[in-house]
Structure formats: structure tokens, C-alpha cells
Amino acid sequence: MEKPDIKGREGIKRLVDSFYDKVLKDEVIGFFFTDVAAINLKEHLPKMYDFWKNMLFRTQSYGRNAMMPHLRLNQKEPLQPQHFTRWLELFDETIDSFFSDPVADEAKHRAKVVTMSISRNTAAIQSGQIDVRGLGL
């Protein structure tokens, strides 16, 4: 079947909504969203549309800091390797249903880079290599 064209904002919205449908009911990571951060979807999803539009099509639509919310989350409930693995699994599944290669490969690669960067920081905080007092969390 032909993969949908997701270039416009409507397409990105479908991609992100579909990812969050999986994430929110996921047994491994869902609770970070529903309980630990208790996100307000109406506020959260538009940020994610902007973020992914920027990531995939370099639209300059996201100017926030994506790292800090995850470091704050990690203070409430440690983010562990299995959480990152699961996040990536769900993301890759979603991407594959929307894109064909090479865009799919690029999107998955970029998500992996961000995952590594978040997990490097959270692991360093958990092991005491980074002192959170200096981070203003």
C-alpha cells in the first residue's frame, strides 16, 4: 500500500497522534506520560508537531529545549535503558507505517541520536557524574 504523504502539518499531526496512541497505552513507558508528568495533551501535542516538523523537514518550527523536560522527568522517576529501547521501538514502528526509505531511515536515525543524548545525560545524573544542583531543574 502507498505510504501517506506526511509532509504538511496535517501529516505530521497524524504521525505524532499515531505515535502517542501507542505510547499512552504502553505498559513499559505509558506511565511517564500519564502519571509521572501527567501531560496535558492539548498543550503537549502541538509542541510535538512543531518538534517533528522541524526534525524531519528543517522548518525552524521548534525553538525550545527538549532536554530539560526529560531531566526533570528523570528526577521524578529514573529513565532506564529499557524505557529508551521501548520508546525507539514504538517510534520506529510508527515511522515505518508512514514513510518509505530513505526518509524512514533518516527519521529513525535522528530519533536514535536524540535518545542517546538524553540517555547519556540521565545515566550521568543517576551515577552522580553530573550534579543536578547546577542544572536548575
What is the smallest separation between the CB atom of 55 and ligand HEM, expressed in angstroms?
7
User: 125: which residues sit within 8 A by CB, 6+ positions away?
Assistant: 71, 74, 132
Asked whether position 66 contacts ligand HEM by CB under 6 A, the answer is: yes
User: 78: which residues sit within 8 A by CB, 6+ positions away?
Assistant: 122, 126
> For ligand HEM, which is the closer residue by CB, 53 or 83?
83
Contacting residue, 90, 111, 121, 125, with ligand HEM by CB under 6 A: 111
Residues 6-35 that bind ligand HEM (CB under 6 A): 29, 32-33
Contacting residue, 24, 39, 103, 132, with ligand HEM by CB under 6 A: 39
Q: Which residues bind ligand HEM (CB under 6 A)?
A: 29, 32-33, 37, 39, 44, 47-48, 51, 64, 66, 69-70, 73, 79, 83-84, 87, 111, 114-115, 118
